[in-house]
Structure formats: structure tokens, C-alpha cells
Amino acid sequence: MSKRFAKRLLSLLISILLVHAVAFMMVRSTRGGPFDEERSLSPQVRVALEQRYGLDDPLAVQYLRAVGGLLRGDFGPSLRYRDTQVSELLADALPISLALGGGALLLALLIGIPAGLLSASKRHPLGAGIAATCSTLLLAIPNFVIAGVVVALFSFRLGWLPPAGFGQLRHLLLPWLCLALPLAAQIALLVRARTTETLQGAAVRSAVAQGLAPAVLLKRYVLRPSLTPVLAFLGPATAALLTGSLVIEQVFALPGLGTFFVQAALARDYTLALGVTVVYTALLGSCTLIADLLMAKLDPRVEALS
Amino acid sequence: MKIKWLTRTAWVFLALLAVLSLIAPWLPIADYRAMDPDARLVAPQWTTAPMLGTDAQGRDMLARLLWGARISLFVGLFGTIVAMLVGVPYGAFAGYRGGRWDRTLMRLADALESIPMVVFVLFLMSILQEYRAELAFVGFGRLQLFLVAIGLLFWLPTARVARAEALRIRQLPYVMAARSAGMRGWPLLRSHILPNMMPALRVMLLLTLPRVILMEAFLSFLGLGVEPPAVSWGGLASDGLAAMNPLVGSAWLMLLPSGVLALTLLALQRVGASAKN
């Protein structure tokens, strides 16, 4: 277990380094820098600027310095926000994005698992149809549309929740909902498929024959096998959350990683974009790792296979 | 019975959309770029002149929707083809060779999967903005960049399916027979393995299409998609979202493009699911 964990951790570190290296090379390969904007700079000013940001050193030196910075969590100064370190911006934005993503994931699980279980049980034929339709529908609608509809309904029509902003818990409720709904749909579909299979299996049939109480049956024989695909889905779910948060943070004007990343990508703030990319890679990698470990814990066969 | 009817409707809808978007330049509709300051934010009239209303600049929404369909469907189709052109050879090779090649290639695919590809592709698109002049010189606009980016995003699942199929077909008796008759390498792949992968690949094509269209909408929404004056559904929906405020009721600006988008994706899903069974 620990050996496998160490191996995975190592490969995670390597992939972070690789992403960083490729992104670094891409940034350095652009000859149009952040300094040639509308008006041209005098040569002296340009040289001074390049010296300040260390752009006049050989590429290898720059790269090694960047790796050193990476190890210390330092990505250098932002090219757009004057006198601000990228790491400061990241430190401000990361908690917001984590709260957004974590809350959305939790909400998705809370909606998705019961919905999947319910729609798999034969006692609710109507419920099954509704759940299936809702899931397909949610998967076919882009999340910014969901956001628009939700804002129009809850903020403009009903006036219950603020349409944008940040600071209080109620600012996060709508973003959570918008991010969670498509994920909940996928989780529900996964749980439904696996539970249908489990319910038809021999284990459940003999348990029923023994006269086990439904609650015990659910807990001991249905829930556990039904949750493995959900755990396996946690990695892709994190990726989907990252992608979704790019949009949702924009719509609700949340100052999280996604907002910074999109702004940086549009405004050519490459050091910031690079920093966010590395943080995203680390986030996704660690979530996948945790999901794998949990899965091995829940289903010993996984361990045996790999 | 009901499902079959649904699938047929989905096909008809998609065909109609494809034909309409193909012949959009010759249809008797308004110019999708023409602004009319006197007719801003006209609500849909359904039967008379601005049938689907106008946007904040007074441009005809029906025309914009149809021209948007051109871009969205084009990007969807060609993005999917790019993804398959990368994924299928990769997966088929891995599955066909097996052994060490297979392990290495698939481990690489696993590693790529653990990278937030969307973020990486956005990063790439932003960097490539710097090379616009050079890219334009070789005939590469935003649209072509887009297709490459999409290919980068979606080839992995295709590669996995292609690999699984190649592994399965490799063990079938007729491939064994061809091998024992001395057939190897590319001829074997081309005449025996690839043709028999086609059904699975067709399903994969139908399943990838909606995801690519959705991704185009996503990128256009973030402002990294097609550039104005070109329009796509994602861009239209994002304009609609921007124009939305509690004082002016202009919900149709967002609901129309996203409605068409959702309907198209649903139809594609339906068709894909029916092809799978």
C-alpha cells in the first residue's frame, strides 16, 4: 500500500514538473512579451524591465530559477498586477476555489447518490423516468446556461439570493448549485447503472431470502458495491469541476483561481497563467490519487489488479 | 417503440439543422452582421419580420442562430474528426502491437489524463495568440487553431476505444488466419483490423460530437472561441447572458441559442445511444 502510494506520489510530482517545464518553454518562446503594449518603450526602459524580471539571462538559468521558485511555491511577479507576486494572488484565490469546488462536490454527491439509488429501485417507475430524463437534460445543457437560468429565477424573479459577488455564504449557494447539478446527474447515472446490476445479483437475492431488513440490506449489500464507480469517477469529477469553475466563477464574479486564469490568459499575464496551471495540475493529481486510495480501501480487488 | 420514434425525430432534427445551416447564405433571412439601432432588443414576433427578435445591437436573431449553427456544427464535426485522426491510430497501434508498446503508450495516456487538459489548452491558445501573423500566413486562423485544440482535448477516449477494439479483433480467427498466412503490419491493420473497428468508432464519433460542440460553446463563452463577426451558439448564449439584467426582460437572447444548443446535444445523445445498442 505505502509503496504503491509512494510510486503514485512520485509520478504526480513528475507530471507537475513536466507541465511546468512545457508551460515555461511555451511562455519563453513568445517574443511578444507583456511589455510591448500600445506604445513602444525606449530601449533603456525595456532593458531595465527585462533585468528586473530576469528575462535577460540564458534560458537554462531562467528555467532553473523557475524550478527553484516552484519548489518554494514562488512563481515570480505577476506581469499584469503591479508589485504583486503570483503566489500572493494564488494564496488569495485558492481558498475560494477550494470552497467552491469542495462544496459543489459534496452537494453533487448528496443529490446524485440518493437520486441514483431511488431511480434504480423498481418501486418508483415514474421516479426512474424522471431521474433519467433530468440526468440527460443536465448533461446536454452548458453550465453557463444553467447559471443564467438559476440567476434569472432565484435572483431576478424571486430575489432570494444575490446574482454575483463574494463575501458571505449566500454568495456561494448558487455557484454550488450550478457546478453540482451536471456532476450530480453523472453520479446518479453511474449509481443507477451499478445498483440495478447489484440488485439483480445473487448476493442481494440470498440476503432478501434470509429476510434481512431493507435498511441493513441497503447498507451492507447495495451501498458498498454501488459506491465504487462513484469513487472511480472522483478524478474525472475534479477535472469537470475545474473546467466548470472557469465559467461559474466568471458568471458569479468570484475572485477564485478560474477567474484569475481566464483573465491572465486573455491579458497575456503568463506568469500568473503558468502558476494557476501548475496549481490546477497539482489539485487534479492529488484528487485522483486520493480517489484511487479510497477505492482500493473500499474494494480490495482494485489493489490486487494493479 | 417510443424510443424508436424519439430517435427518428432526433435524426430529422439534426438533418434539418444541417441542411438549413448549409444553405444559410442563400436563405431569405436578414444579414446576421447588420446592426439596426432602431430595432434593438425586439422580442420575438414569431410570425412577422424579426421572427426570433433582435439582439442588443439590433441584429436579427434568426440569422445569427443559423449562422451560429454553421460554426458550431462545423467545429463539432471537424473537431471530432481531428480527435479521431489522432486517437484512432494511437489506440489501434497500441492494441495491435500489444506487449511493451501497449503498456508504454497507455501509461503515457494515463499520465496525460492526470493533467488538466482544458486549462493546458486554454494556456496554449493564449500563447498562440502571439503568433497570429505567422499562423495566418500558413492559413491558420482562430478556427483552425480551435480544431487542433479540440483534437488535443478529445483524442484520449477515442484512443482507448480504438485500443480495446484492436485488442479484441486481433484475437479473432480471421486475423489469426491472415497472420499465419504471413500478413503483417500496415496491410493487416488496414484490411482486417481497421474496417472491423468501424462500428465502434462510429458510436465514438457520435458520442464525441456533442462533447466537442459543448466545448466550443465553453471556449466561446470565455472569449477564447471564434472571433466576431463570426458567431457560434456558445458566443450567442454568452452575449445573451451578458445582456441579461433585471430591468430589461431579454431572456430570449440567452434562451434561444442555449435551447437550440441543448436540443442539438440531446438529439446527438439520442442518436449515439441508439447506435450503441
Collect all residues of chain A within an 8 Å Cβ-Cβ radius of residue B238.
Answer: 144
Distance CA B53, CA B46 (A): 8
Q: Decide: A140 and A182 in contact? Cβ < 8 Å.
A: no
Q: Which of residues 199-258 of B touch A (CB under 8 A)?
A: 210, 214, 217-218, 221-224, 234, 237-238, 240-241, 244-246, 251, 254, 258
CB contact under 8 A, A274 and B123: yes
Non-local (6+) Cβ contacts of B104 within 8 A are none
pLDDT of residue A109: 92
Distance CA B54, CA B41 (A): 5
A65-101, pLDDT tens digit by residue? Answer: 888 888 887 787 777 777 778 888 888 888 888 889 9
Collect all residues of chain B within an 8 Å Cβ-Cβ radius of residue A283.
Answer: 116
Q: Decide: B264 and B14 in contact? Cβ < 8 Å.
A: yes
Question: To the nearest whole angstrom, how far is the Cα of A85 from the nearest Cα of chain B?
Answer: 19
Distances (CA, A) of A30 to B102, B127, B129, B130: 36, 7, 9, 6
For residue B118, give the nearest of A145, A243, A283 by CB distance: A243
B71 burial (CB, 10 Å; 0-12 / 13-18 / 19+) is buried
Give the angle B55-B125-B77 at the CA atoms, nearest 5°.
Answer: 65
Q: Decide: B64 and B32 in contact? Cβ < 8 Å.
A: yes
Quick check: B167 pLDDT over 80?
Answer: yes
Asked if A19 is an interface residue toward chain B (Cβ–Cβ < 8 A), one would say yes
A171-201, pLDDT tens digit by residue? Answer: 778 888 888 988 888 888 888 888 888 888 8
Residue of B nearest to A148 (CA): B241
Collect all residues of chain A within an 8 Å Cβ-Cβ radius of residue B10.
Answer: none
| ipTM (interface predicted TM) | 0.74
pLDDT of residue A92: 86
Q: Which of residues 276-305 of A touch B (CB under 8 A)?
A: 276-277, 280-281, 283-285, 288
Quick check: B41 pLDDT over 70?
Answer: no
Q: Which of B275, B264, B266 lies closest to B71, judged by CA?
A: B264
pLDDT of residue B204: 85
Average pLDDT over residues B100-123: 83
Asked if B116 is an interface residue toward chain A (Cβ–Cβ < 8 A), one would say yes
Q: Which of B77, B76, B56, B69 lies closest to B233, judged by CA?
A: B69
pLDDT of residue A104: 92
Quick check: A230 pLDDT over 90?
Answer: no
Asked if A97 is an interface residue toward chain B (Cβ–Cβ < 8 A), one would say no
Distances (CA, A) of B134 to A165, B149, B223: 41, 18, 22
Quick check: A270 pLDDT over 90?
Answer: no
Residue carrying C-alpha cell 445498483: A195
The grid coordinates of residue B144 equal: 483552425
% of chain A with per-residue pLDDT over 90: 3
B45-70, pLDDT tens digit by residue? Answer: 666 666 666 766 667 777 788 888 88
Collect all residues of chain A within an 8 Å Cβ-Cβ radius of residue B111.
Answer: 11, 15
CB contact under 8 A, B254 and A148: yes
Question: To the nearest whole angstrom, how far is the Cα of B255 from the nearest Cα of chain A?
Answer: 8
B245-262, pLDDT tens digit by residue? Answer: 666 667 777 788 888 888
pLDDT of residue A28: 76
Write down the mean pLDDT value for chain B: 80
Asked if A233 is an interface residue toward chain B (Cβ–Cβ < 8 A), one would say no
Intra-chain end-to-end CA distance of chain B, in Å: 14
Task: Label residue B128 by pLDDT band (50, 70, 90).
Answer: confident
Residue carrying C-alpha cell 491579458: A267
Quick check: B91 pLDDT over 70?
Answer: yes
Which residue(s) pair with B60 in the sheet? B54
What sections of chain A are H helices per DSSP? 2-29, 43-52, 59-72, 86-120, 125-140, 143-150, 169-199, 202-209, 214-217, 224-251, 257-267, 270-298, 300-305
pLDDT of residue A35: 58
pLDDT of residue A305: 47
pLDDT of residue B207: 82
The grid coordinates of residue B107 equal: 501509461
Asked if A141 is an interface residue toward chain B (Cβ–Cβ < 8 A), one would say yes
Q: Decide: A212 and A224 in contact? Cβ < 8 Å.
A: no
CB contact under 8 A, A142 and B214: yes
Collect all residues of chain B within an 8 Å Cβ-Cβ radius of residue A139.
Answer: 269
Quick check: B1 pLDDT over 60?
Answer: no
Residue of B nearest to A34 (CA): B130
* Domain spans in chain A, listed from the N-terminal domain onward: 96-256
Asked if B111 is an interface residue toward chain A (Cβ–Cβ < 8 A), one would say yes
Task: Tell me which of A137-141, A291-295, B106-110 is least confident.
Answer: A137-141
Asked if A242 is an interface residue toward chain B (Cβ–Cβ < 8 A), one would say yes
Quick check: A123 pLDDT over 50?
Answer: yes
Asked if A162 is an interface residue toward chain B (Cβ–Cβ < 8 A), one would say no
Average pLDDT over residues A13-32: 80
For residue A156, give the nearest of B116, B218, B246 by CB distance: B246
Average pLDDT over residues A198-207: 82
Average pLDDT over residues B142-169: 85
Q: Which of B200, B234, B230, B240 lies closest to B76, judged by CA?
A: B234
Collect all residues of chain A within an 8 Å Cβ-Cβ radius of residue B223.
Answer: 262, 266
ω into B229 cis (within 30 of 0): yes
Quick check: B142 pLDDT over 80?
Answer: no
Residue A85: helix, strand or coil by DSSP? strand
Question: To the nearest whole angstrom, how far is the Cα of B223 from the nearest Cα of chain A?
Answer: 8
Distance CA B45, CA B6 (A): 29
The grid coordinates of residue A196 equal: 440495478
Quick check: B113 pLDDT over 90?
Answer: no
Asked if A152 is an interface residue toward chain B (Cβ–Cβ < 8 A), one would say yes
| Structure-model confidence comparison of residues A34 and A237, the more confident one | A237
Quick check: A4 pLDDT over 80?
Answer: no
Which residue(s) pair with A77 in the sheet? A85
Quick check: A33 pLDDT over 70?
Answer: no
pLDDT of residue A303: 58
Query: For the residues of B152-208, what is the DSSP string, one character each?
Result: HHHHHHHHHHHHHHHHHHHTSHHHHHHHHTT--HHHHIIIIIHHHHHHHHHHHHHHH
| Structure-model confidence comparison of residues A223 and B42, the more confident one | A223
Residue carrying C-alpha cell 433519467: A132
pTM score? 0.81
CB contact under 8 A, A151 and B223: no
Q: Which of A177, A49, A24, A14 lies closest to A108, judged by CA?
A: A177
Q: Which of A236, A246, A251 lies closest to A189, judged by CA?
A: A236
Task: Tell me which of A273-282, A295-304, B182-191 is least confident.
Answer: A295-304
* Best residue of A144, A261, A262, A289 to probe chain B, by most B CBs closer than 10 Å: A144
pLDDT of residue A105: 92
Question: To the nearest whole angstrom, how far is the Cα of B162 from the nearest Cα of chain A?
Answer: 20
Distance CA B160, CA B207 (A): 14
Q: What domains sit in chain B, N to C, each tagged with a CATH number?
A: 2-276 (1.10.3720.10)
Task: Label residue A299 by pLDDT band (50, 70, 90).
Answer: confident
Q: Decide: B153 and B117 in contact? Cβ < 8 Å.
A: yes
Query: What CATH number was assigned to the domain covering residues A96-256?
Result: 1.10.3720.10
Distance CA B33, CA B36 (A): 10
Average pLDDT over residues B125-135: 74
Average pLDDT over residues B159-172: 87
% of chain B with per-residue pLDDT over 90: 2
Query: For the residues of chain B, what is the DSSP string, one character each?
Result: -HHHHHHHHHHHHHHHHHHHHHTGGGSS---TT---GGGTTPPP-SSSSSTT-B-TT--BHHHHHHHHHHHHHHHHHHHHHHHHHHHHHHHHHHHHH-HHHHHHHHHHHHHHHTS-HHHHHHHHHHHHGGGHHHHHHTT--HHHHHHHHHHHHHHHHHHHHHHHHHHHHHTSHHHHHHHHTT--HHHHIIIIIHHHHHHHHHHHHHHHHHHHHHHHHHHHHTT-SSPTTS--HHHHHHHHHHH--SSS--THHHHHHHHHHHHHHHHHHHHHHHHH-
Residue A77: helix, strand or coil by DSSP? strand
For residue A266, give the nearest of B120, B214, B223 by CB distance: B223
pLDDT of residue A31: 54
